[in-house]
Amino acid sequence: MLEAEGRALRHSALRLGLGLGLLILVVMLVTAALGLCLWAVYQYLAPAMEPASATLATAFIALLMAGIVGWVAQRLGR
């Protein structure tokens, strides 16, 4: 019986490790996608205004997104 429990534990540990690895991959891909979206916003705004203003506008958009994510995380953590 102890041997069966060991196999079940190993199987569960492997599934947990695989799930965590895939979750880390997803987080990295989402971070890259959001970075590319912000870069696209900057590229869109740069010809219409000075580069410093376009950078500032893009930074405000990033801060707004971070604030929304923080607010949602706080609401879910209650």
What are the tens digits of pLDDT across the range 28-43?
999 999 999 999 999 9
| Per-residue confidence (pLDDT) for residue 31, from 0 to 100 | 93
**How far apart are alpha carbons 30 and 13 in whole angstroms?**
26
Mean pLDDT of 43-61: 93
Q: Which residues, 6+ apart, have CB-to-CB distance to 1 below 8 Å? A: none
Q: Does the reported pTM lie above 0.75?
A: no
**How far apart are alpha carbons 36 and 6 in whole angstroms?**
45
Mean pLDDT of 50-66: 92
| Statement: residue 3 has pLDDT above 90 | no
**Ramachandran bin of 50, using left for φ above 0, alpha for ψ from -120 to 50, beta for the remaining angles:** beta
E strand or H helix at 58: helix 51-76
